[in-house]
Amino acid sequence: MIKSSLIISTYNWPEALELVLNSVKAQLVLPNEVLIADDGSGEATKKMLAEFKSDFPVPLIHVWHEDTGFKKAVILNKAVAKAKNDYIIQADGDCILHPNFVADHLSLAKPGHYLFGSRVNIQKYFLDDLFAAKKTKFSALSKGIKKRTRAIHFPALSTLYKPKSKFSKKFRGCNTSYFKSDFIKVNGYNEEFEGWGREDSELAIRFHNVGLLGHRLRYKGIVFHIYHHEKSKSRLEINNDIEQHTINNKVVWCVNGIDKYLDE
């Protein structure tokens, strides 16, 4: 089987990250390592991760940089650069993983393709119960979720979804996977993105521009997204312009990307 690195992005929400890491420990197929791409969290996250490391089933690596604002593209590049394995699986620190999450991504990993899966929403009213019980197991019938059909794990139905040459608006960076070599081929995330929005979709568009196919993992590869207040969208117009430039000019290589970290 392909060796994989699971990268989980986070920022100052250790309570949510704890649930995500518990869901990693419950995976039917474990990744070969887990890297926490930490965009400047404080001591509470560092302490929690130190506790997890003591009995975590695979290497748990904390990739951290100083908090200088929303720099998700930067910290993800740094994490991918440190990843030791050929295949990258990516999730967010507020997304609890279905027990088959890693296995599902690996089952369809294929050269020339990237994958993206579904996101089920855990609702605001359920948060107190979620954290009190430290709940990590959900089904389509579970209390506290919406978009229930996305929670159905039915691999036979997933075969109805085929790789596509065009970017899908269903793509979410909180549930995606790709070969590290393909990520490097387009120079990773564009670090011109700051603040919320478009850094993930612009990467996927460059994947298509370089010739990759996108394969949607419907009924497989499921995550459960924990409700939180929306982040500031103050730079969204700027980020939209960067993405539109990539579309209009069929950009493949971003100038400000991962290459600066690869020799470290």
The DSSP output letter for 71 is -
Domain that residue 80 falls in: 4-261
How confident is the prediction along the chain (264 residues), in pLDDT tens digits per residue?
Answer: 799 999 999 999 999 999 999 999 999 999 999 999 999 999 999 999 999 999 999 999 999 999 998 899 999 999 999 999 999 999 999 999 999 999 999 999 999 999 999 899 999 999 999 999 999 999 999 999 998 999 999 999 999 999 999 999 999 899 999 999 999 999 999 998 887 768 999 999 999 999 999 999 999 999 999 998 777 677 878 888 999 999 999 999 999 999 999 986
Residues 6+ apart with CB under 8 A from 207: 114, 178, 182, 186, 214
What is the distance between the alpha carbons of residues 186 and 259, in angstroms, rounded to a whole number?
10
What pTM value is reported for the model? 0.96
Check residue 170 and give left, alpha or beta (phi > 0: left; psi -120 to 50: alpha): alpha
Q: Among candidates 217, 225, 228, which has minimal Cα distance to 101?
A: 217
What's the domain count of the chain? 1
Taking each continuous run of H as one helix and of E as one strand, the counts in the chain are: 9, 11
- Summary mean pLDDT of the chain: 95
Question: What CATH number should be reported for the domain holding residue 52?
Answer: 3.90.550.10
Residue type, 16: A
